């Protein structure tokens, strides 16, 4: 049974794929927005484009826009760094923190989660195991995404290859699962195993028809949520 009746979440990390920026990135964000509206806002859809695209996408969609990464620094002489204040000024509602492709130290994650709370921004902290996720949950992030690095980009869904990663995930924060999620069925399975949703990337960003993939994922997330609501009545 689904562990929570909160709205399911489909978060899309654009990474730095060729489709992540310019008109193509904007199109994908708008398609995600249209699918969100098609399902009446009953699935929370989040997009995380590159830093260069944040402002343009924020101004073009209703859905939540997150930064892919922020640096654990304050404003000042920080050439090349991205403090939280800068992405907030772009209009984002949160940020991914500690993705497996951009790891941070625990003290840096702590700095960012505390500062994000003070700024009114949502934090989506990534972990490679449920145990790491449990440890990071002490920092009180808004969401934790459990993503085994060996499955990222493989198309092998974590809910199929390693369901214990989902079922063993901690419960005191919103839990997402990622790595290998490639279809709506993977999304539905992950939610039914006990998570609140998924963090995906290549399945959307490398798809021939990203809009269809987005619709499939959101539809199955909504289906899992509807079933949970019926069971709770």
143-177 pLDDT, tens per residue? 999 876 554 444 444 455 454 555 555 556 788 88
User: Catalytic: 102?
Assistant: no
Q: Is 127 helix (H, G, I), strand (E, B) or coil?
A: strand
pLDDT of residue 166: 52
The residue annotated as part of the active site, out of 59, 62, 69, 99, is: 99
What would the mean pLDDT of 75-103 be, rounded to a whole number? 97
b/e per residue 106-139 (b: at least 16 CB within 10 A):
eeebbbbbebbeeeebbbbbbbbbbebbbebbeb
Instruction: Name the percent of the chain lying above pLDDT 70.
Output: 85
3-state helix, strand, coil in the chain (%, to 5): 45, 15, 40
Q: What is the DSSP letter of 158?
A: H
User: Catalytic: 99?
Assistant: yes
Residue 227 makes CB contacts below 8 A (sequence gap 6+) with: 2, 192
Confidence check: pLDDT of 211 > 80: yes
Confidence check: pLDDT of 61 > 50: yes
pLDDT of residue 171: 59
pLDDT of residue 172: 65
pLDDT of residue 232: 67
The residue annotated as part of the active site, out of 53, 69, 147, 220, is: 147
Mean pLDDT (the chain, rounded): 87
* Tokens of residue 91, six digits: 């209009």
Tell which wins on pLDDT, 196 or 152. Answer: 196
């Amino acid at each position: 049974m689904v562990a929570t009746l909160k709205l399911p979440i489909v978060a899309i990390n654009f990474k730095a794929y060729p489709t992540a920026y310019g008109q193509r990135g904007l199109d994908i964000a708008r398609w995600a927005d249209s699918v969100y509206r098609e399902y009446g806002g009953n699935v929370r859809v989040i997009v995380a484009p590159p830093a260069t695209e944040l402002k343009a996408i924020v101004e073009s969609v209703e859905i939540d826009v997150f930064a892919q990464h922020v640096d654990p620094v304050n404003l000042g002489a920080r050439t090349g760094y991205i403090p939280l204040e800068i992405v907030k000024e772009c209009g984002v509602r949160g940020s991914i923190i500690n993705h497996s492709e951009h790891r941070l130290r625990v003290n840096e994650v702590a700095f960012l989660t505390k500062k994000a709370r003070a700024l009114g921004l949502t934090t989506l902290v990534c972990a490679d195991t449920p145990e790491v996720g449990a440890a990071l949950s002490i920092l009180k992030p808004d969401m934790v995404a459990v993503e085994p690095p060996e499955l990222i980009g493989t198309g092998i869904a974590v809910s199929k290859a390693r369901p214990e990663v989902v079922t063993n995930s901690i419960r005191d924060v919103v839990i997402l699962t990622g790595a290998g999620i490639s279809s709506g069925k993977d999304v539905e399975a992950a939610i039914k195993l006990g998570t609140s949703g998924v963090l995906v990337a290549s399945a959307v960003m490398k798809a021939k028809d990203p809009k269809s993939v987005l619709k499939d994922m959101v539809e199955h997330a909504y289906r899992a949520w509807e079933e949970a609501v019926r069971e709770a009545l």
